[in-house]
Amino acid sequence: MSAAKVRKAVFPAAGLGTRFLPATKAQPKEMLPVVDKPIIQYGVEEALHSGIRNIVIVTGRGKSAIEDHFDVSFELEHHLESRHKLELLAKVRQVSDLIDVSYVRQKEALGLGHAVNRAQELVGQEPFAVVLPDDVIDAETPCLRQLMDVYEFFNAPVLAVMEVPKESISSYGCIDAEPVSYNGSRNKVYRIRDLVEKPKPSEAPSNLAIIGRYILTPDIFECIGKVQPGAGGEIQLTDALRLQLRSRPIYAVKFEGKRYDAGDKLGFLQATVELALKREDLGAAFREYLKGLNLR
Ligand code: UTP
């Protein structure tokens, strides 16, 4: 049976962003700009470039700036139009014109699994993507597209993973997995044997860390409903996947590209510097500026 098409992407954005306080006290971290776009827009554009235009954003209290960002701003558009600032007008309209966004609230930040579960009604009985907006991924083929290709091949849930130094594994979900053949190679796709959330380095089954991109199937909702709060007292998506693994195979892809954890101060700075250097309009001047810094 061929795999059903992935048409929707869920963006959990109801977390408290404590790593970025005080900036996130009155402003969602998903709206912090990397160069000139809010963090969340990178993920939304990645979904669009992967062929997904139905976006479901899970929000919470204090997150209305996200809704405003993807909404039409008549006042701003009128202002730009009347002053013939058409290039800026196109930039403002670019993404919101192409996507269909719905919102659902997570009243309390009870964990990533809980946030995903809030999207159940909007997702319905079809496969869907999950994008953690904090993870900004720079890749030639969008990371979600890489996952969707593997999902279509195996007709099974797929997670994005990357190798991390063993001492950092306790910040991530970690997989125990065996490589499988895919597109003539055996070092890109894995069949998962087990998963564990935030293991101690000495207990981690591998150095393969789960990052913020998933293709899931609707049976995950039932699994989320069954799991008890895990690491940090939160309903963990990793624990629900572990349960789902008992009834079906799940795969992981070592994606090609560079991932920045923009929800973390250092990762945010790295994303800002590297993405600014790649920009046609800014890169050359910014490079000159950086060269002039007396770095030792
Ligand atoms: P994080 O743990 O990175 O985000 O969750 P956080 O909790 O907002 O940040 P810190 O750790 O306090 O700094 C990953 C993603 O899952 C969402 C977050 O908004 C973020 O995009 N999330 C997390 C929810 O939507 N609900 C939750 O209950 C937890």
Please compute the mean of the pLDDT values over residues 248-264 and round it to a whole number: 97
Range of the domain at 279: 8-286
Parallel, antiparallel, or unpaired for β 173-182 and 208-216?
Answer: antiparallel
Which of 132, 171, 265 maximizes ligand 1 atoms within 8 Å of its Cβ, making it the mutation to test the pocket?
132
Looking at the domain assignment, is residue 86 inside a domain?
Answer: yes
* Banded pLDDT at 157 (limits 50, 70, 90): very high
Supply the pLDDT for residue 256. 97
CATH at residue 85? 3.90.550.10
Looking at the domain assignment, is residue 1 inside a domain?
Answer: no
DSSP 171: G
Q: pTM, whole model, 2 decimals? A: 0.94
Looking at the domain assignment, is residue 295 inside a domain?
Answer: no
Q: Which residues contact 166 (CB under 8 A, 6 or more apart)?
A: 201, 204, 207
For ligand 1, the distance from its centroid to the CA atom of residue 25, given in whole angstroms, is 14
* Banded pLDDT at 39 (limits 50, 70, 90): very high
Looking at the domain assignment, is residue 189 inside a domain?
Answer: yes
Q: Average per-residue pLDDT in the chain?
A: 94
Please give the residue that has the higher pLDDT: either 28 or 81: 28
* CA-111 nearest atom, ligand 1: 28
For 88-120, what is each residue's pLDDT tens digit?
888 877 777 788 999 999 999 999 999 999 999
For ligand 1, the distance from its centroid to the CA atom of residue 114, given in whole angstroms, is 11
Which of 25, 134, 213, 235 maximizes ligand 1 atoms within 8 Å of its Cβ, making it the mutation to test the pocket?
134
In the block, tokens 């900036």 appear at: 23
Question: Based on the structure, what is the number of domains in the chain?
Answer: 1
Cβ–Cβ < 8 Å for 253, 145 = no
Cβ–Cβ < 8 Å for 214, 238 = no
